A and B are shown apart, each in its own frame.
Chain A
Amino acid sequence: MRQKLKKKALEIRKHILNMCIKAETGHVTSSMSCVDILVALYQGCAMRHDPKNPDWSERDRFILSKGQASPALYTILADCGYFSMKDLDKFAQENGKFGVHLQNDVPGVEITCGSLGQGFGFAAGTALAAKKNRDLFLTFTLLGDGECYEGSIWETAMFASHNRLNNLVAIIDRNYLCVTDFTENIVSLEPMDERWRSFGWDVECIDGHSIDQILDVLERVRSRRSTQPLVIIADTVKGEGVESFCYQPVCHGIAPKGDDAKKALADLERRCSYE
């Protein structure tokens, strides 16, 4: 299955790139860095969900806190069957169902998100409700590393550990890049693992592009014995799969055009050929 997921991740990346090139917008690089994580969650059996019944009360909740990665989530939801793949063709266009940031009226999407630092707290509220209602679902939330500059992230981090929300799993897409520069040049986020530990969280550090490592950690979350919430710090590359976009500040929030688009597509094709 894991080999199939690796292929699936490449397929999803192609969809995302083509969708954003057509729409001439969308956060391509932010989406590329979290594709493997989302594939593992939705298509690697890590999360309980039912595309035919998006409001299934026992579903695990997935809260995309880095709402700019909506092209990745929309593509995976379509691929799972929450809605038609054809809907992706109208991404951020007239009569389209969704745009650059996340909106909660799309089947399978829990929240509207575009303002950073909010989904994480919402996820903690969801996890608290599950505790109070004695529901068994887990709440997963995906954060950007740059999002961790928001003060509300740390308000929630304190709250979640104090309230022993061991049904909450946060994944940080640690791609080291913000809009204008690398995080460690802007305001250092390291040592990220120690910071989260000091806030009372269990911490796992993995390669966020290794389906094996992602699934190895996700497969254990339902049976782990800790009373504390879990954060998975997933090292990633912003733009992963599109070589010409990687390690480039100021590639945030844009879709390639003209020759750049051709080059980006060629990058991905080349990646497919040797995977």
Chain B
Amino acid sequence: MNNITQRDSFWNKIYDLAKEDKDIIVLSADMGAPSLDKFRKDLPDQFVNVGIAEQNAILIASGLAKEGKRVFVYAIAPFITFRCLEQIRVNNSMMKISITVVGVGAGFGYEDSGPTHHMIEDIALMRSMPDLVVNSISDSVMAASVAETSCQMTKANYVRLDRLVLPVVYGQDEDFSKGVSILKEGDVYIATTGSMVHVALQAAEQMSKNGHSVGVVDVYTIPIYEQNFIEAIGESKKLITLEEHFVSGGFSSAVCEVLQDNGVMIPVKRIGIAMDKGYCYAYGGRDIIRKHYGIDENSVVEKITEFLK
């Protein structure tokens, strides 16, 4: 499944399922994808373009879902989370109406679009609400799998998709029900999520050349499945968290809460976007932006090396 975006993988799977199930409805806030062009053409009764109106999109979706439809609402990530947060809070968290919110452009996926399109606070935001699951997608195999499981979910979920084509790290038969997967064994672990999985794997590889045994755990379901996560990091005496997200309230905060609540008192190095760095207008590609924030591969290796001294 190389050379395919997460969103195309996701929507291809939804297309296959929707052909057999007329209750699957896709609501787009005027957001497209090559895979959705096919959906719109072949299944016009199951595709609704609500226009650039995300608040209304969530409300229409929730009304449809209450009447038995399985609804996917799709837009660029910041607009389908922040813009309509209160609609999600009331309808999908409070009233527990199950819809799937699909946001594309996690992290710096919209690399040259500037901070309005960067999505570096969504985990903090969406995990703050009960009865809402965050699926943080790291490759296109996972995207297809989450598309399928979303159709059976009784809770609402938010699927954060990367915009760019990323390497495939999972086999087709991977079991994603565990919420966490060990991608590389090691003596100490990097816990990471989304596109940073790929940075973590490269950093771990570089570390191993320097004689450090560093493993990588991909955490893709939040709330974190606590016992699976604790088991995955095993006897790791220290832990590194890595995220393309502000460090306050996001992925690293979720990990630290799990460690604290389970009495796992190990030193943790949180590598992410420092709050005092704020938003940025750096251009020239994702790696340039990551360098600006010190979360590119080499910066990560430096920080981990210092932490493990």
Contacts and interface: CB of A to CB of B under 8 A. Distances in A.
A124 B50 CA distance: 12
Contact of A123 (B25, B61, B63, B68): B63
Determine which residue in B45, B60, B86 has the highest number of CB atoms from chain A within 10 A of its CB, and name it: B60
Given A112-B95, A159-B53, A128 B63 contact: yes
Nearest to B22: A132
Contacts of B51: 155, 158-159
A111 B95 contact: yes
B48 A128 contact: yes
A199 interface: no
A132 B45 contact: yes
A126 to B, nearest CB: 4
Contact of A121 (B25, B60, B65, B69): B60
Given A104-B95, A112-B90, A124 B45 contact: no
A92 B277 CA distance: 46
Given A110-B66, A132-B64, A133-B67, 11 more contacts: A112-B94, A123-B63, A124-B56, A124-B63, A125-B62, A126-B67, A128-B63, A129-B63, A156-B59, A158-B53, A159-B56
A125 B60 contact: yes
> What is the interface residue range for chain A against chain B?
20 to 34
B87 interface: yes
Contacts of A115: 86, 90
B231 to A, nearest CB: 37
A144 B305 CA distance: 61
A167 to B, nearest CB: 12
Contact of B91 (A122, A129, A132): A122
B63 A121 contact: yes
Interface in A5-53: none
Contacts of A123: 63
B90 A129 contact: no
A111 B48 CA distance: 23
Contacts of B60: 121-122, 124-125, 128, 156, 159
A155 B53 contact: yes
Contacts of A110: 66
Given A112-B94, A152-B56, A126 B50 contact: no
A133 B68 contact: yes
Contacts of A70: none
Contacts of B95: 104, 111-112
Contact of B64 (A104, A114, A125): A125
B6 interface: no
A45 B148 CA distance: 44
A148 interface: no
A35 to B, nearest CB: 25
Contacts of B48: 128, 163
A261 interface: no
Interface in A85-114: 104, 110-114
Interface of A: 104, 110-115, 117-118, 120-130, 132-133, 135, 151-152, 155-156, 158-159, 163
B56 A122 contact: no
B87 A152 contact: yes
Interface string B80-98: 0000001100110011000
Contacts of B67: 125-126, 129-130, 133, 135
Contacts of B252: none
Given A118-B87, A118-B91, A133-B68, A126 B63 contact: yes
A156 B54 CA distance: 11
Contacts of B61: 125
Given A112-B90, A126-B63, A132 B55 contact: no
29 contacts: A111-B91, A112-B90, A112-B95, A118-B86, A118-B90, A121-B60, A122-B60, A122-B91, A123-B63, A124-B59, A125-B62, A125-B63, A125-B64, A125-B65, A126-B67, A128-B48, A128-B64, A129-B64, A129-B69, A132-B25, A132-B69, A133-B68, A155-B53, A155-B55, A156-B59, A158-B53, A159-B56, A159-B60, A163-B48
Contact of A122 (B25, B50, B59, B69): B59
Contacts of A126: 63-64, 66-67
A132 B45 CA distance: 8
Contacts of B87: 118, 121, 152
Contacts of A129: 63-64, 66-69
Contacts of A158: 51, 53
A158 B55 CA distance: 13
A69 to B, nearest CB: 17
Residue from the set B61, B87, B90, B94 with the largest chain A CB neighbour count within 10 Å: B90
A29 B67 CA distance: 33
Contacts of B66: 110, 122, 125-126, 129
Contact of A156 (B56, B62, B86, B90): B56
A128 B67 CA distance: 10
